[in-house]
């Protein structure tokens, strides 16, 4: 006979669930309060009326009766029966695939979708083997390289960047920020403390507060259990989260894009996630590979797609969507020039880096697109193209190079400008193992957007389980490591202004250097 609970008693599971909800609310409130210092709140104003769109729910087929094989039913498997069986199986597979890629169109309340950090799966831990060319632990930039530097300025910079230390309160294996492989990272621009956002392959978003105090443990007690770090995790998308963008005018707004064809806006203060963009046709599959926002257009989102498109969408105008086909193959990454945001750099599976001008858009229908200023072709596919504030573009490619291009004169380019073939040649080619294989997220360079020291530098993951730091002149500044890193921190990001670096791996775990 089941035990009867006394009125008012609470199970351990229910108590743990409520504790998780309270912890997440506290973290979001703390982040929201600190974020308000970055961008002060504006006085409340009545939002402009907007046209509401309603979408009918996707049609579902009626449930089919359970099928039985012809052999068990005592019938001959004639051609018509076999044909019908194959048709039914094909329909079932198609319906399952469609359900898998459906995005969440409704608003999400974080209280309802908290993921218990202690119960995360770790399906990638059992994977064996080493990616071709990777030699875990083998340094390609050493202390000797620093000490032998003859340029005093470069030596000081190398010493400073190499002095960054791995987060000391918890080992990387203890900071499990999302359940599955990390595909994207983002640093909140606040400078009070490091707040890191991560997105994984199945649409979960995690948030880690790097200012958490050290766990209170007794070093003399062998049985002491070190508490886990507080990590908030939310299921906001149904497929891979590809990018994060932070609003320049709303300190509490975080945008995320996904392979589920949607862009969502997370409000840290209210604790809700709202879909701000998705194709009007629910059956349209348009995986979004990257997301960016111009500082002078804080309501306009730019995004690239895996089918070769570049899109623009104003969140204030539901009918403002415009997508240009810029490549016959996928665009894996793109970025806007931080100070000249009409300039776009795209990286594509067709092996090209291309520079576009959004001030000059021409053509009609499918042939409408921005003006192409120039392109450079690599031997193999180009994974990402990232602009620095001073006009450098860094790309990573499967030809095992990082290329740096110098478009420092781009502020003087007029409409109709064309980049000469000589000017679009890379000024630096850095040998770099980019053979990530199937189980490691693609390596992509990410610039520090507004470095406080004025020195342009970027980070990129290293297959030997490091994070590499480079300057715009191709000089390596550091190779970040630390005890407890057991997987490739393939996804690497710089804080916009501070010398803080984050790296995420295939087990959903986070490395943080300060």
Average pLDDT score over residue span 406-422? 94
Tell if the pTM clears 0.85, that is, is over it. Answer: no
Query: In terms of DSSP H, where are the helices of 36-78?
Result: 70-73
How far is residue 495's CA from residue 447's CA, in Å, rounded to a whole number? 9
Summarize pLDDT for 438-473 with one digit per residue, the tens: 899 999 999 999 999 999 999 999 999 999 999 999
How far is residue 506's CA from residue 439's CA, in Å, rounded to a whole number? 7
Backbone angles phi, psi at 430, to 5 degrees: -105, 120
Is residue 93 a contact partner of residue 86, using CB atoms and an 8 Å limit? no
Superfamily of structural domain 146-214+229-513: YVTN repeat-like/Quinoprotein amine dehydrogenase (2.130.10.10)
Average pLDDT score over residue span 308-330? 94
Of 49-63, 317-331, 472-486, give the lowest mean pLDDT range: 49-63
Q: How confident is the model at residue 282 (pLDDT cuts 50, 70, 90)?
A: confident
* Residue-averaged pLDDT of the chain: 84
Query: For residue 63, is pLDDT > 60?
Result: no
DSSP 298: T
How far is residue 161's CA from residue 143's CA, in Å, rounded to a whole number? 12
* Phi-psi label, residue 480: left if phi above 0, alpha if psi -120 to 50, beta otherwise: beta
Q: Which burial class, exposed, middle or buried, applies to 15 when counting CB atoms under 10 A from its CB (0-12, 13-18, 19+)? A: exposed
Summarize pLDDT for 145-164 with one digit per residue, the tens: 999 999 999 999 999 999 99
How far is residue 346's CA from residue 100's CA, in Å, rounded to a whole number? 29
pLDDT on residue 60 = 43
pLDDT on residue 468 = 98
Summarize pLDDT for 226-239 with one digit per residue, the tens: 778 888 889 999 99
SS (H, E, C) 231-274: EEEEECCCCCEEEEEECCCCCCEEEEEECCCCEEEEECCCCEEE
Q: How confident is the model at residue 9 (pLDDT cuts 50, 70, 90)?
A: low
Of 80-94, 113-127, 390-404, give the lowest mean pLDDT range: 113-127
Query: For residue 503, is pLDDT > 50?
Result: yes
Q: Between vectors from CA 27 to CA 251 and to CA 193, what angle results, nearest 5°?
A: 60
pLDDT on residue 270 = 87
Higher pLDDT, 75 or 416: 416
Report the b/e string of 68-95 with b at 16+ CB within 10 A.
eeeeeeeeeeeeeeeeeeeeeeeeeeee
Is residue 322 a contact partner of residue 312, using CB atoms and an 8 Å limit? yes
pLDDT on residue 52 = 43
All structural domains of the chain with their residue ranges = 146-214+229-513
C-alpha 505, offset from chain centre: 12
Backbone angles phi, psi at 120, to 5 degrees: -60, 140
Q: Between vectors from CA 30 to CA 273 and to CA 169, what angle results, nearest 5°?
A: 110
Please report the DSSP string for 312-370 in residue order.
Answer: EEETT-TT--EEEE--SS-EEEEEE-SS-TTEEEEEETTSEEEEEEEEEEE-SGGG-EE
Average pLDDT score over residue span 393-411? 97
Average pLDDT score over residue span 412-430? 94
How far is residue 444's CA from residue 242's CA, in Å, rounded to a whole number? 12
Q: How confident is the model at residue 340 (pLDDT cuts 50, 70, 90)?
A: very high
Is residue 232 a contact partner of residue 24, using CB atoms and an 8 Å limit? yes
Q: How confident is the model at residue 222 (pLDDT cuts 50, 70, 90)?
A: low
Percent of the chain with pLDDT over 70: 75
How far is residue 503's CA from residue 513's CA, in Å, rounded to a whole number? 9
pLDDT on residue 125 = 31
SS (H, E, C) 164-210: CCECCCCCHHHCECCCCCEEEEEECCCCCCCEEEEEECCCEEEEEEC
**Could you tell me what percentage of the chain is helix, strand and coil, using 3-state DSSP and rounding each to the nearest 5?**
15, 30, 55
How far is residue 468's CA from residue 455's CA, in Å, rounded to a whole number? 16
Percent of the chain with pLDDT over 90: 64
Range list of β-strands (E), 365-411: 369-377, 382-387, 392-397, 401-406
Higher pLDDT, 183 or 82: 183
Is residue 497 a contact partner of residue 189, using CB atoms and an 8 Å limit? yes
């Amino acid at each position: 006979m089941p035990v009867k609970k006394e009125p008012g008693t609470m199970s351990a599971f229910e108590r743990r669930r409520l504790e998780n909800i309270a912890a997440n609310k506290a973290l979001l409130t703390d982040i929201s309060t600190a974020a308000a210092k970055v961008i002060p709140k504006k006085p409340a104003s009545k939002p402009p009326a907007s046209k509401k769109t309603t979408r009918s729910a996707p049609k579902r087929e009626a449930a089919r009766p359970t099928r039985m094989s012809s052999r068990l039913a005592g019938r001959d498997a004639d051609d018509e029966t076999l044909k019908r069986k194959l048709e039914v199986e094909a329909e079932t597979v198609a319906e399952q695939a469609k359900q898998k890629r459906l995005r969440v169109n409704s608003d999400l309340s974080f209280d309802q979708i908290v993921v218990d950090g202690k119960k995360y799966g770790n399906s990638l831990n059992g994977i064996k083997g080493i990616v071709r060319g990777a030699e875990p632990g083998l340094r390609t930039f050493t202390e000797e390289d620093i000490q032998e530097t003859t340029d005093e300025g470069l030596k000081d910079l190398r010493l400073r960047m190499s002095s960054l230390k791995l987060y000391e309160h918890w080992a990387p294996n203890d900071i499990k920020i999302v359940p599955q492989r990390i595909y994207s990272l983002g640093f909140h621009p606040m400078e009070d403390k490091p707040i890191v956002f991560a997105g994984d392959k199945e649409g979960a978003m995690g948030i880690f507060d790097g200012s958490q105090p050290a766990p209170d443990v007794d070093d003399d007690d062998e049985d002491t259990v070190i508490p886990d770090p507080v990590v908030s995790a939310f299921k906001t998308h149904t497929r891979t989260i590809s990018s994060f963008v932070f609003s320049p005018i709303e300190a509490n707004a975080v945008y995320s894009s996904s392979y589920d064809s949607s862009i969502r806006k997370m409000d840290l203060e209210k604790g809700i996630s709202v879909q701000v963009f998705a194709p009007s046709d629910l059956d349209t599959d348009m995986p979004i590979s990257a997301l960016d926002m111009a500082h002078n257009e804080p309501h306009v989102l730019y995004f690239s797609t895996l089918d070769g498109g570049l899109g623009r969408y104003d969140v204030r105008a539901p009918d403002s969507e415009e997508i240009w086909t810029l490549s016959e193959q996928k665009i894996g990454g793109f970025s806007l020039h931080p100070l000249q945001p009409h300039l776009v750099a795209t990286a594509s599976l067709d092996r090209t880096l291309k520079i576009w001008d959004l001030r000059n858009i021409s053509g009609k229908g499918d042939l409408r697109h921005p003006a192409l200023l120039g392109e450079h072709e690599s031997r193999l596919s180009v994974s990402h193209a990232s602009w620095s504030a001073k006009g450098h573009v860094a790309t990573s490619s499967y030809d095992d190079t990082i290329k740096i291009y110098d478009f420092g004169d781009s502020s003087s380019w007029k409409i109709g400008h064309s980049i000469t073939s000589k000017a679009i040649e890379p000024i630096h080619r850095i040998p770099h193992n980019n053979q990530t294989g199937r189980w490691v997220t693609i390596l992509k360079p990410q610039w520090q957007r507004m470095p406080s020291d004025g020195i342009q530098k970027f980070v990129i993951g290293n297959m030997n389980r490091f994070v590499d730091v480079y300057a715009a002149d191709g000089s390596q500044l550091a190779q970040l490591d630390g005890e407890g890193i057991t997987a490739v921190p393939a996804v690497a990001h710089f804080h916009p202004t501070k010398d803080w670096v984050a790296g995420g791996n295939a087990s959903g775990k986070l490395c943080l250097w300060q």
